[in-house]
Amino acid sequence: MSDKKHREMTSGNFAFAEAMRQINPDVVAAYPITPSTDIPVKFAEFVANGKVDSEYVAVESEHSAITACVGASVAGARVMTASSANGVALMHEVFPIAAAFRAPIVFGLVNRCLGAPVNIHCDHSDSMPERDSGWIQIYCEDAQEVYDTVLLAVRLAEDKDVLTPVFVCQDGFITSHCYEAVEILADETVKKFVGERQAQYPLLDVDHPVSYGSFTMSEYYFEIKRNQMQGMYNVPEVYTRLENELAKETGRKYGMIESYRTEDADYVIVIMSSATGVVKDVVDEMREDGIKAGCIRVRFFRPFPREELVRLVTGKRGVAVLDRCSSIGGTSPLAAEVKAALYGLPQRVPVQEYVFGLGGRDFYPRDAEKVFTRMADGDYSFEPRFIGLLEKEKKVDDNGWN
């Protein structure tokens, strides 16, 4: 119980579970996997102790978990679940179906690298392959942001102009398991904010029967996809409205993209999730050394906040994109988005792609420092660079290839 707004020491996972308790979803179907295990485990405890009215469906695999979620969601229920890594990958087949059914599921995705080799630590190789599954993707920096974002995600997903499922992502172990002070709202405040789901075409409304997912050939498949795109395009306006509403209770706003000291910056690092704090610290230090550094944190990866990014980066002398995910044989996901967004600029801004933190490899202030100094030295390459990788030194040739 949370009678009034208070602060407590908790983790990203437990903050997510606490938000779930307050939201009291109709159905949760989950198959626990590290590092998101705490979420369904804690929630199952709430169910067992009568703290929520939810139907908790214990299933035999992640594929079954998300399938049960889709069924419950189109039936008209408010549905939540959580997973990580290979569990997310096993669900892959069902994600585009959930999105096309406009099933507003809220999903706690605790980022963990995809095996093999088996590794439980953080990178974004589990969520990034889902970027084209039609789900909204929000990446949180800390546990407070996770808590606030879950509340927002419920309203955002269910909004009639959006009706799209949401991944609320947080970095495995770094955010999910570290304890920090989190402000928890009163149960009553959350209940009022999230309200009840008003499903448009609930499958259980037998007086108005509908079918979901009927065979649809080339005559309308394309139009259904275009309709999904519109749901995504409507996110910025709806999200801004919801965030303003919740901020009256919390005093906190995150936006779809966060900028730190970018206004007068020459050199900017673009990054996501928990590693942002390190970069912000280094930005302050670089400025003491006379390098005008700045940091942009991409919070929404889908829909990608292209216009805001372009506005923030226009006129800068250099941009370094730090991806916690690689696209083997291609451009890393965040770098690809940033480069695509900046292509339309009349004045080209050089962009350097970096890959860092794969499989939980640590990211240090000295790494961010080096990224800034290389930009200030005009040292760019057409190829990705790797932070913290054990590798032989390479020379940069005249064409800028390292």
Partner 1 sequence: MSKPQTWQDVPLGTVAFGASALKVETGLWRSIRPIIDLKKCVSCLRCWVQCPDMSIMVDENNKVTGVNTFFCKGCGICAHLCPVKAISMHPESEFIGENADHGEDPGEVGAHVR
Options 13-21, 79-87, 94-102, 369-377: segment touching partner 1 (CB under 8 A): 94-102
- Please, which residue, 116 or 206, has the CB nearer to partner 1? 206
The one among 1, 116, 226, 398 contacting partner 1 by CB under 8 A: 226
222 binds partner 1 (CB under 8 A): yes
30: helix, coil or strand? strand
Q: How far is the CB of 41 from partner 1 (least distance, A)?
A: 32
- Please, which residue, 163 or 313, has the CB nearer to partner 1? 163
211 binds partner 1 (CB under 8 A): yes
Radius of gyration of the chain (CA): 21
Output the CA–CA distances (angstroms, integers) from residue 95 to 89, 98, 162, in the order listed: 10, 5, 16
29: helix, coil or strand? strand
Q: How far is the CB of 201 from partner 1 (least distance, A)?
A: 5
Q: Are strands 293-298 and 257-260 parallel, antiparallel or unpaired?
A: antiparallel
DSSP summary character for residue 206? T
Full DSSP string of 32-57: --TTTTHHHHHHHHHHHTTS---EEE
Triad 82, 101, 194: Cα angle to 5°: 55
378 binds partner 1 (CB under 8 A): no
The one among 5, 8, 132, 220 contacting partner 1 by CB under 8 A: 220
Cα–Cα distance measured from residue 168 to residue 176, given in angstroms and rounded to the nearest whole number: 12
Token digits of residue 263: 């206004």
The one among 3, 53, 60, 223 contacting partner 1 by CB under 8 A: 223
Options 80-88, 213-221, 314-322, 328-336: segment touching partner 1 (CB under 8 A): 213-221
Triad 326, 331, 335: Cα angle to 5°: 90
213 binds partner 1 (CB under 8 A): yes
Cα–Cα distance measured from residue 158 to residue 226, given in angstroms and rounded to the nearest whole number: 19
233 binds partner 1 (CB under 8 A): no
Binding to partner 1 (CB under 8 A) within 95-134 occurs at: 100-103
CA proximity to 295, closest of 248, 257, 254: 257
Total residues at interface with partner 1 (CB under 8 A): 22
Cα–Cα distance measured from residue 141 to residue 362, given in angstroms and rounded to the nearest whole number: 16
Answer for the pair 354, 371: CB distance below 8 angstroms, yes or no: yes
198 binds partner 1 (CB under 8 A): no
CA proximity to 173, closest of 17, 266, 34: 34
What mask, x for binding partner 1 by CB under 8 A, covers residues 72 to 91? --x-----------------
Q: How far is the CB of 394 from partner 1 (least distance, A)?
A: 49
- Please, which residue, 222 or 401, has the CB nearer to partner 1? 222
Token digits of residue 282: 């280094």
Q: How far is the CB of 208 from partner 1 (least distance, A)?
A: 7
382: helix, coil or strand? coil
Q: How far is the CB of 8 from partner 1 (least distance, A)?
A: 39
What mask, x for binding partner 1 by CB under 8 A, covers residues 153 to 192? ----------x-----------------------------
- Please, which residue, 73 or 84, has the CB nearer to partner 1? 73
Answer for the pair 163, 231: CB distance below 8 angstroms, yes or no: yes
Q: Where does this chain bind partner 1 (CB under 8 A)?
A: 74, 100-103, 163, 200-201, 208-214, 216, 220, 222-224, 226-227
